[in-house]
Structure 1
């Protein structure tokens, strides 16, 4: 027996180095979500690009919504194509290059460059989200079924460390630039170049060491690639009732992820608009939240396989509800910092547990396709949550507290639906899939 086989939580023939290279993609791409979507560019978009207009927050959330809609339209077919042609890694390379390139081009978005910023955000987020689905589809190939939560937690926790690294580098530059008397429109664009460069360097191990274990499946040749992708997707939809627990969990995920995606996309905006934080305060807040998120992903990743996927997710949703109430009531920085760090702990845990549960419910021959459906659900929630928040702030003339409270109700709905998901039944359905 080789040393690799003695690693009980890894699948046969999978080395520690390969799992590390897979997790390094989470490290690499987390800088994008942390710096661009969560901490710096979102607040910059509202305050500088949109020049603090009442519709600025809605314009930001609408831009994200368009990118997620594009992913919704393409993700299932992209996953089906990846399964048929065993091409997850090749497609991952394409989406990675696209995200890095357009993130670097955000450097060009300055005061009043609204349509340029909107176009670039749509493109960067589209490529990011498409790649996120593809890298997740490798998980069931790397971990044994009873250790999906543990290995998924490794990826998420390393991802938050990557977000910390990118944000820390950005903070160092911002601090220096502010010391030189520079304004946000001068130093924020440079942080986009920093983020793109870190993404490009950190993802190299993934493409060097991660293996494509899937085998090409019988498929149509020539110009019928797209047609076949939708034929395969149709096969999945035809049997959708058979995977009732997967479907039920995806509906649950749409609701609770709507709340999570609103927090991710609007945390810095809320901090600056409702709590009066400046850029440096906001970056420090997100830095600390990433530490607690990494801790949450690692700790819950190690216990969720014993505690159970459903109890783990339920516990984090209760935490999210508490966080929303604290943020809504916060009248000073102390309570808001407490709320933000509760969000961090719940963020890492809920993201890791959700990905692991989808892996458990996925048939072996349709992993990329089913993770495409997972990505679709997340992207629907990424439209629903932020758009709800943006509309409330627009219609209420900038009441961010009301928007936070209303968006937080999605966690309660998700918790109620979660109670009807049966893990054993869902796993059995995946292991005894019907013929296509």
Structure 2
């Protein structure tokens, strides 16, 4: 398909279809906020694998990190392959449906995990995280098809912003139920499972418009019946890496992304544990904090979506990394809940911005007809960072007998190193390389 045909294809996305794409971010955000960030992560560390189960200090945090790490390792390997097959067979939407159903059902099944059910909880968390991350890669691969390059930053920002409001809605409903449950004398072993069912239901309902309205624009490549999908995937990926010199700024940015995203991933899956174990936040306080943080994250994603289309993605990202550094230092120094609230909201502002600009920049550096494959690499790097960041935190926490402040120092280093690496990325040259490939 030539560049003119690509432009015509991209231009056919109407407002309803763009909304359908963005609504998927709204739908799946409840999973990250409830399962990975707030309620279930703290519940796992404090109840499922808590001290009452005879677990050594720091081990429950390490087990949680391992479950997330295993999931992300699997997606790191499978993500680019799935993206390549989806491009070759033009079946991104089908794969997205399968991953969504898997995440929804495994999230609901987590309601069965109670005190001492460590193995069951780890298996279900691992599987649900695999399904979630696979869907995240696939929905991102639609972006170059539905908007032109100059609008990717804005559209990515809309998606992230709407996603944070989805997380906010899910948490708000969960908070209302938890408040009611506590008023009636019910414990966490009762109300946490219900919040997981609420999360699964919202995911299913909010994702429905995506599958009703979003179209698969890609067309299948010519089939070679002598090759399996796996062989085709490896062949396409091998070709991608052989052409690495042509996309050197994409590769440089992927390395940069891998470093700073290790810090982001750590905050996502362990911030509630830190607030609970270090600052003494209870479940209700955690939910209220994360709800407010979701608002600032939505604002950050929205502002950065517009800002990067004006001043460029690299300068916008540099600003957000500086905010990240200040926010983590504030969390390290916090000795009162008020300081943790300040740090949390700075983290929210930076998180929304950095995640929005990262996805958009990879989209800008990706040739249109290979968007699924290159955004699969984006997913690979995200998954690698989601292994390195949380696992480093968990290991340091275990070796230090539960010293969370020492563990957070490793998180700070990821943002500082990422900021220095970012200055090696030339945005204009990266975009030119992608356009040259399209014209070819």
TM class, shorter-chain normalised? over 0.9
Match of 2:322 among 312, 318, 322: 318
**d(CA) in 1 for partners of 2:432, 2:303:** 27
Which residue does 2:235 correspond to in 1?
A: 231
**d(CA) in 1 for partners of 2:314, 2:428:** 11
Confirm or deny that 1:304 pairs with 2:303. Answer: no
Which residue does 1:84 correspond to in 2?
A: 88
**d(CA) in 2 for partners of 1:199, 1:406:** 33
CA contact (8 A) 1:239 1:434 kept: no
Residue 228 of structure 2 aligns to a residue in which SS?
Answer: helix
Confirm or deny that 1:117 pairs with 2:121. Answer: yes
**CA apart distance, 1:435:** 11
**d(CA) in 2 for partners of 1:291, 1:411:** 22
Compute the TM-score of the two structures, normalised by the length of structure 2.
0.95
Q: How does 1:238-249 map to 2 (within 5 A)?
A: 238-249=242-253
Q: How many residues align?
A: 428
**CA apart distance, 1:355:** 0.5
Match of 2:265 among 254, 261, 266: 261
**CA apart distance, 1:230:** 1.0
Confirm or deny that 1:39 pairs with 2:38. Answer: yes
Relative to 1, partners in 2 of residues 1:14 and 1:167: Cα closer, same or farther, differing over 3 Å?
A: same
CA RMSD in angstroms, aligned pairs only? 1.5
**CA apart distance, 1:364:** 1.4
Which residue does 1:217 correspond to in 2?
A: 221
Unaligned ranges ≥5, structure 2: 1-6
Which residue does 2:170 correspond to in 1?
A: 166
Which residue does 1:425 correspond to in 2?
A: 429
CA contact (8 A) 2:256 2:418 kept: yes
**CA apart distance, 1:142:** 1.4
Which residue does 2:408 correspond to in 1?
A: 404
CA contact (8 A) 2:369 2:438 kept: no
Residue 331 of structure 1 aligns to a residue in which SS?
Answer: coil
**CA apart distance, 1:434:** 9.1
Confirm or deny that 1:128 pairs with 2:127. Answer: no
Confirm or deny that 1:139 pairs with 2:139. Answer: no
**d(CA) in 2 for partners of 1:390, 1:308:** 35
Q: How does 1:149-160 map to 2 (within 5 A)?
A: 149-160=153-164
Residue 222 of structure 2 aligns to a residue in which SS?
Answer: coil
Relative to 1, partners in 2 of residues 1:125 and 1:222: Cα closer, same or farther, differing over 3 Å?
A: farther
Match of 1:292 among 290, 296, 303: 296
Match of 1:67 among 66, 71, 88: 71
**CA apart distance, 1:218:** 2.1
**CA apart distance, 1:223:** 6.6
Which residue does 1:281 correspond to in 2?
A: 285
Compute the TM-score of the two structures, normalised by the length of structure 1.
0.96
What stretches of structure 1 move > 4 A for 4+ residues in a row?
Answer: none
**CA apart distance, 1:72:** 1.0
CA offsets per residue over residues 45-65 of structure 1, 9 Å max, x none?
Answer: 000110133200000000000
Residue 437 of structure 2 aligns to a residue in which SS?
Answer: coil
Which deviates more from structure 2 when the two are superposed, residues 424-433 or residues 267-276? Answer: 424-433
